[in-house]
Amino acid sequence: MSRSILFCFALLAAPASPAQQPPPPPVEAPSPEAEPSSADPQPQSSPATRPTAQRTNINLLGQTDAQNGESRRNENVQFNLVDNNALKELNLRVGATATIVDEFQIDRSYFGSELGAPPSASIHAAGTGSRDIHGSLFETHQNSIFSARAFFQVGDVKPARENAYGARVVLPLWKGGHFTVNASQIKIRGQVNGNVLIPLPSELTPTTNDPELRPIVERILDAYPQTAPNRPDIAARAHNTNSPQRINTDAASGQLDQRLGDRDTLFLRYSFTGQNVDAFQFVTGQNPDTDTKNHSARLTWNRAWSSKTVTEATLGFDRLGSLLLPAAGALGSISTGSEITSLGPSPIIPIDRAQNRFRTAATVRRNARRHVWTAGFGLTRLQYNSTETDGHFKGILQFNRTFEDGIQYSAIDNLRRGHPQLLVQALGDTYRAFRNWEPQAYCSDRWQAARGLTLTLGLRYGAVTRPRDVTGRSHLPYHTDANNFGPTFGFAKRLAEGWGVLRGAYGLHYGQIFPVTYGQDRFNAPYSLRVVIPSPNLADPLNGLRFEDLDPSGRSSQTQISPDLVVPYSHQYNLSWQFQGGKVWRLELGYVGSRSHKLIQTYFLNAALPVDGIPFTLATINDRRPDKKHFEHLFINNGSHGYFDAGRVSLVVPGWRGLNVNASYWFSKALDTGADYTNTASGPDARSAISQTVGESMHDLRGPSNFHQPHSLLLQGGYETPRRRKGPRWMERMFGGWNLSGVLLLKSGTPFTVQSGSDAPGFGNADGRSGDRPMLLDPSILGRSVGDPDLSEALLPRSAFAFINAPTQLAGSLGRNTFRKGRIANVNAALFRTFAMPGETRLTLRAESINFFNTPQFAQPTYQLSSPSFGQINNTLNDGRAFRFTLRYAF
């Protein structure tokens, strides 16, 4: 044992130290050997990781993890396809999956894996196996004629189709060499259906007669459907509509495997994945169009020095390009306090970004009697080049509910009057080109300590250097984070007298400082200036102001990055017991927990305060800010903590008389203090949870995490009809060998927060920030699940809340995430059979249904108390039932 520890530390002391959480793992082209989704059961206690690395790392649309019970997402719930937004969307819609990792592999990071996030992938390319000629072709088709309407849809299902097709071929080339190629395309053509809140016919005309304001207001109102709402049964302004959306996904990869003698093998791999999205537009310019391109290349040398010692050395390159542009006719970000649907796109659009990672790594593994030693290092060079925005396109314009001279005006009233309450406008050049290094080193020992007892001990080290902007515009204040040591420990003990196996594991895992996090520095003076204008003139919100007219040392908003910013980390631990009940079934009991610290969060400082002698109105917000040099002051720091605990029980029946069953239930609790492990402190993340008053973030925001679900049940099953030896042969050919599989997912809904909906006096605290919450008058409603459109307003009554009385009251008594969306109850099913063909060829026919019983998963109700539609549910998070059919030919 001591020899293995000394061996580890000797290797760590060697030069070439590398990164703690590697950047997102390389993304390869999807193999046609695996269909886009499947309802087949997975015979394991901890199910396959819910989100694939490819789907979450490069934010791909059009994928569904049907085998773990996911329903097709409702595409009308839009998110921008950058950063880790796909993972966040999964967490909000499907929730977390309590995952027990039996053993932490030392060359990977498991930050967030206890919640179902994929661990980092190995940089090394692996062999493709067989050297004989073989391959497969497949075609999957989905058509709207087999689809059911979504819950709120008006009229028939609109024409839509989806085609996925591809091929995989392995070809021997010459002695010791063979080539594997994969190629596939997914083409989605259809109509996105959804509900929007639109002005009533009587509200489609401006009330202002000002000749300058009226045409501007008309243009804004014209962005909405010029018709009466067709779902007044949901809400007075609810309108169900359709909009076309096109998604093209192309993927290809090729790998050359070349043996060089008896000991050496070279692997040369390149893969490409690209996706183009022409987004739907329920209202004009609502969503951006997106173009994503991902390249990955690897050169790996594998050498067997002896039967006991193997090394791998790799050179790699990854490039991820993201281009998000406003759609034609986009007016900019215009908010109306949820009284009607906001116009878009998001303030962070447009985005033009390229991330290049140059990577090198080496690993050595040695088997020596009872020990398996592993050691390695890696080095990554990151280039992050981008032009990004935060209100630079056309600013952020807000219309809110107000009281003026004793008269209450709704947000729509103020829109029709041409009286916005706030403009946030950024001006300047935001192009940056950051460079930094991420070294890492690791070692571990897997020790057969005694008969029936295995111990693992490992240590992982990583550092992240301070990014440097080669344009010379940004000078980040924090330092290189070079003290990240992550020990791991595990054991597996086979108990006496057939009482199964007891396992336990602990690991300290590090996350990352996201490039988009430190990239927020681009929004600071002197190259970018952000002004906040209360009650602007809609005809000329900037009053003719240009960037050249601004004093770089003058008053502006500030995004400050903490000089103490470091990489977040998490203590993850688990204990499990596996009992084998003969050859028929297996029972598994387990606990998994984590404590995550230094999670990235944004504090909103310099909020306006009540000041004697200054009127307490929205128009005086900037006059009442303590720091007269700045407007908004965003402070990015390691301010949040996360807590997760889960107990899990699984029953596995593998292959009993053609039946496979995997049933898992887990009870869990997830808490944080305002930000979870996915928070990037950018764009919507920065404003996802804002404390009501400055200095009270930890206390005010502590509550359930956005993905918290106390109860979850996953039931996966499959049955193969027997091939009877007795009876007519035609019966065997017709009915034998069919596979029927299904998945049932039952989960509690994820939480949401009730907010005031307006910062104006009489509703909020008039401090220039969002996130105000009301006073709670009826504590009996806390914790309610609001998941029935017919009962939602009764379950979440207005009478249970009251607006704060500012400036006497500056914060509401209601907590964060105190209510819950409706439950998840989804069934997926599949029927397939493989037919033997002449030679060694096979033909597989497959029919699959997603959301077989067409069960809606309702979105959260309107949660802004000031909105006329408060408490009303007008959308679903999943799509209606769909069928798809696959034909696969393998040779």
Q: Which of 61-70, 669-678, 734-743 tops mean pLDDT?
A: 669-678
Distance CA 414, CA 419 (A): 5
Q: CA nearest 471: which of 392, 385, 397?
A: 385
Distance CA 474, CA 559 (A): 12
Concatenating the DSSP letter of every residue in 456-512 gives EEEEEEEEEPPPEETTS--------EEEEEEEEEEEEEEPGGG--EEEEEEEEEE--
Task: Work out the pLDDT band at 10, boundaries 50, 70, 90.
Answer: very low
Query: What average pLDDT is seen over the chain?
Result: 92
Residue-level pLDDT at 30: 40
Name the burial class of residue 694, with classes exposed (0-12), middle (13-18) and buried (19+) by CB atoms within 10 angstroms of its CB: middle
Please check the confidence at residue 791 and state whether its pLDDT lies above 80: yes
Task: Work out the pLDDT band at 28, boundaries 50, 70, 90.
Answer: very low
Contact present, 199 and 340 (Cβ < 8 Å): yes
Concatenating the DSSP letter of every residue in 318-334 gives EEEEEEEEPPTT---EE
Residue-level pLDDT at 839: 86
Distance CA 112, CA 138 (A): 34
Q: Which of 145-149, 176-180, 401-405, 523-527 has the lowest mean pLDDT?
A: 401-405
Residue-level pLDDT at 114: 98
Query: Quick one: DSSP state of residue 145?
Result: G
Residue-level pLDDT at 510: 98
Query: What b-and-e string marks burial along 735-762, b requiring 16 or more CB atoms within 10 Å of the CB?
Result: ebbbbbbbbbbbbbbbbbbbbbbbbbbb
Task: Work out the pLDDT band at 4, boundaries 50, 70, 90.
Answer: very low
Residue-level pLDDT at 726: 66
Residue-level pLDDT at 41: 39
Determine if the peptide bond prior to 807 is cis (ω within 30°). Answer: yes
Residues contacting residue 155 through CB under 8 Å, at least 6 positions apart: none
Residue-level pLDDT at 45: 36
Q: How much is the average pLDDT of 291-306?
A: 98
Residue-level pLDDT at 494: 97
Q: Residue 246 phi/psi, 5° resolution?
A: -120, 130
Q: Residue 206 phi/psi, 5° resolution?
A: -65, 155
Distance CA 179, CA 172 (A): 6
Concatenating the DSSP letter of every residue in 217-234 gives HHHHHHTS-SS--S-TTT
Please check the confidence at residue 277 and state whether its pLDDT lies above 80: yes
Task: Work out the pLDDT band at 840, boundaries 50, 70, 90.
Answer: confident
Q: CA nearest 525: which of 632, 605, 435, 608?
A: 632
Task: Work out the pLDDT band at 18, boundaries 50, 70, 90.
Answer: very low
Count of CA atoms in the C-beta half-sphere (13 A) of 57:
25
Please check the confidence at residue 658 and state whether its pLDDT lies above 90: no
> 507 to each of 112, 459, 489, 592, 640, how far by Cα in Å?
12, 9, 6, 12, 20
Q: How much is the average pLDDT of 275-283?
A: 97
Distance CA 90, CA 667 (A): 19
Contact present, 257 and 171 (Cβ < 8 Å): no
Please check the confidence at residue 730 and state whether its pLDDT lies above 80: no
Determine if the peptide bond prior to 32 is cis (ω within 30°). Answer: no
Please check the confidence at residue 47 and state whether its pLDDT lies above 50: no
| CATH superfamily to which 2-225+239-517+572-588+599-604+649-890 belongs | TonB-dependent receptor, beta-barrel domain (2.40.170.20)
User: Percent helix, strand, coil in the chain (nearest 5)?
Assistant: 10, 45, 45
pLDDT in tens, 575-621: 999 999 888 899 999 999 999 999 999 999 999 999 999 999 999 99
Residue-level pLDDT at 34: 42
Percent of the chain exceeding pLDDT 90 equals 83
Q: How much is the average pLDDT of 815-823?
A: 97
Please check the confidence at residue 13 and state whether its pLDDT lies above 60: no
Residue-level pLDDT at 731: 66
> 641 to each of 672, 702, 805, how far by Cα in Å?
5, 9, 31
Task: Work out the pLDDT band at 725, boundaries 50, 70, 90.
Answer: low
Three-state DSSP class for residue 517: helix
Q: Which of 10-14, 569-573, 646-650, 865-869 has the lowest mean pLDDT?
A: 10-14
Please check the confidence at residue 822 and state whether its pLDDT lies above 90: yes
User: pTM for this one?
Assistant: 0.90
Task: Work out the pLDDT band at 420, boundaries 50, 70, 90.
Answer: very high
Query: Quick one: DSSP state of residue 555?
Result: S
Please check the confidence at residue 82 and state whether its pLDDT lies above 90: yes
Count of CA atoms in the C-beta half-sphere (13 A) of 415:
28
Q: How much is the average pLDDT of 128-150?
A: 91
pLDDT in tens, 194-239: 999 999 999 999 999 999 999 999 999 999 999 999 999 888 999 9
Please check the confidence at residue 23 and state whether its pLDDT lies above 80: no
Q: CA nearest 833: which of 844, 849, 821?
A: 844
Please check the confidence at residue 24 and state whether its pLDDT lies above 70: no
Please check the confidence at residue 843 and state whether its pLDDT lies above 90: yes
Q: Which residue has the higher pLDDT, 536 or 22?
A: 536
Residue 436 in tokens = 């930094």
Contact present, 456 and 446 (Cβ < 8 Å): yes
Q: How do strand 501-510 and strand 481-494 relate by DSSP bridges?
A: antiparallel
Task: Delimit the domains of the chain by residue range.
Answer: 2-225+239-517+572-588+599-604+649-890
Count of CA atoms in the C-beta half-sphere (13 A) of 763:
26
Task: Work out the pLDDT band at 737, boundaries 50, 70, 90.
Answer: confident
Place of tokens 């929205």: 618
Concatenating the DSSP letter of every residue in 739-808 gives EEEEEEEEEPPPEE--B-S--SBTTB--SS-S----EES-GGGTT-EE--TTTHHHHS-GGGEE---TTT
Concatenating the DSSP letter of every residue in 813-826 gives S--SS-EEEPPEEE
pLDDT in tens, 449-508: 999 999 999 999 999 999 999 999 999 999 999 999 999 999 999 999 899 999 999 999
Q: How much is the average pLDDT of 643-647?
A: 99
> 58 to each of 23, 28, 315, 318, how far by Cα in Å?
12, 11, 21, 12
Residue-level pLDDT at 3: 43
pLDDT in tens, 364-391: 999 998 999 999 999 999 999 999 999 9
Distance CA 759, CA 707 (A): 27
Query: What b-and-e string marks burial along 510-525, b requiring 16 or more CB atoms within 10 Å of the CB?
Result: bbbbbbbbbbbbbbbb
Residue 693 in tokens = 């008053």
